[in-house]
Amino acid sequence: MLAFILRRFIGMIAVLFAVSVLVFIIFILVPGGDPASRMAGKNPTRENVQNIREKWGFDRPIYIQYVKMMEKAANGFLPGSHGEYDILTSFQNRQDVTKEIRKGIPATFSLCIGAGIIWLFFGIAVGVVSAVTAGRFSDRLITTFALIGISMPVFWLGIVMRYFLAEKPNNPPFPDGEYVPLTVDPVQWAYHLILPWFCLSVLFIGFYGRVLRSNMLDTMNEDYVRTARAKGVAPRRVLLKHVLRNSLIPIVSLFGLDFAAVLGGGAILTETVFSLKGVGWYAAQSVGDLDLPPIMGVTLYGAFFIVVFSAVVDFLYAFLDPRIRAV
């Protein structure tokens, strides 16, 4: 087990390294031209361009450029003050990218953790109910709703939810916009997040429900389920202990990766529609401004979560499925 963890950890670092190289290639090498003059923004002074060129090492070999870029990305996390060109700063407003990402984290985490719990809970509930009643009316009804949920574009759903539940009526049941920090007022925090939580969850609930339903229907036909029934085990216990337990294994890997993706700034549409100033919103703004350093920063940040969570999924797998532990 220890060897497994160690191996996985080394793999994680290797993947992160590969991602950072890719980011470097995509953002520095591929666009071509002089990266220093691109970074200096509109109407740069000659000294400014020269300054950037030196600080980023654009007049030196490619691997030095890579190291310089990573240094700047890392400097944002380190304590102490750094000069404007020692850290990753946006072209547009010269803000520290790392600082901006960190500013977005509370909103993004609040949105994603809440939504993650909601979609996991309802996704499993939907899957179990429709598998147990497969073929009957409730299953068909749930299937229809699940397909509608999967098909609805998030930006449309979000706008409709905002319009009808937070703006249109005279006394809208939900507040509109603005993130209230958890530390300021937990009740208002949750109240303000209910709509975004559900908006982000709908797609995943429908999707997880469908996946779990078919997993469970497959598992119900497994020989070991028949064995459990032949032992006289009660149906509820057969369902939970034998069918659901085995059907949830693939859901764990789906959840790990989806959750990492939204934590890593993937909830761009939900954050934008509800003006939640999280990491996804920041990414959307930067893309709109063609502001490369923040996009680089968010990409690295997102990759970090994906890699970490896929390792977590692997550990959980080993825990959930003893056959993997042996490998």
Partner 1 sequence: MAEPLLEVKGLNVSFATEDGTVRAVGGVDFELERGKVLGIVGESGSGKSVTAMTILGLTRDKNTRFEGEVIYKGQDLIDLSESRLRDVRGNEIAMIFQDPMTSLNPVYTVGDQIVEAIQTHEGANKREAMRRAVELLRQVGIPNPQQRVSDYPHQFSGGMRQRAMIAMALSCNPDVLIADEPTTALDVTIQAQILELLANLRRDFDSSVILITHDLGVVAEVADEIIVMYAGRVVERGSKRQIFYDPQHPYTWGLLGSIPRLDRPKPKKLHSIEGTPPSLINLPRGCKFRPRCPHAFEMCQEEPELKKRVDDAGHLDRCWLSVEDKRRLREATIAGEAQEVA
- Tell which positions 225-264 bind partner 1, by CB under 8 A: 226-235, 241-242, 245-246
Closest CB 106 distance from partner 1, rounded Å = 38
Angle between helices 137-151 and 186-220 (to 10 degrees): 120
In whole angstroms, give the CA distance from residue 152 to residue 203.
7
According to the binding rule CB under 8 A, does residue 323 interact with partner 1? Answer: yes
The nearer residue to partner 1, 39 or 238, going by C-beta atoms, is 238
If you count DSSP H runs as helices and E runs as strands, how many of each does the chain have, helices first? 15, 0
Binding to partner 1 in span 62-81, by CB under 8 A = none
Burial of 149 (0-12, 13-18, 19+ CB in 10 A): buried
Binding mask of the shown chain, residues 273 to 292, with x at each position contacting partner 1 by CB under 8 A: --------------------
Shortest CB 323 distance to partner 1, Å:
5
Per CB under 8 A, 321 contacts partner 1:
yes
Q: In this complex, which beta carbon is closest to partner 1, that of residue 7 or of residue 241? A: 241
Among positions 71, 176, 222, 289, the unique one binding partner 1 when judged by CB under 8 A: 222
**Interface with partner 1, residue 223, by CB under 8 A:** yes
Three-state SS string over 265-296 comes to HHCHHHHHHCCCCCHHHHHHHHHHCCCHHHHH
Q: Specify the residue, 246 or 299, whose C-beta has the smaller distance to partner 1.
A: 246
Nearest to 36 by CA among 14, 15, 9, 54: 54
> In b/e form, how buried is each residue of 111-144, taking b as 16+ CB within 10 angstroms?
bbebbbebbbebbbebbbbbbbebeeeebeebbe
Tokens encoding 222: 């497994």
CB of 124 to partner 1, least distance (A): 17
Pick the closer one to partner 1 by CB: 60 or 229: 229
Q: How far is the CB of 246 from partner 1 (least distance, A)?
A: 6
Residues of this chain that interact with partner 1 (CB under 8 A) are 222-224, 226-235, 241-242, 245-246, 320-323, 326
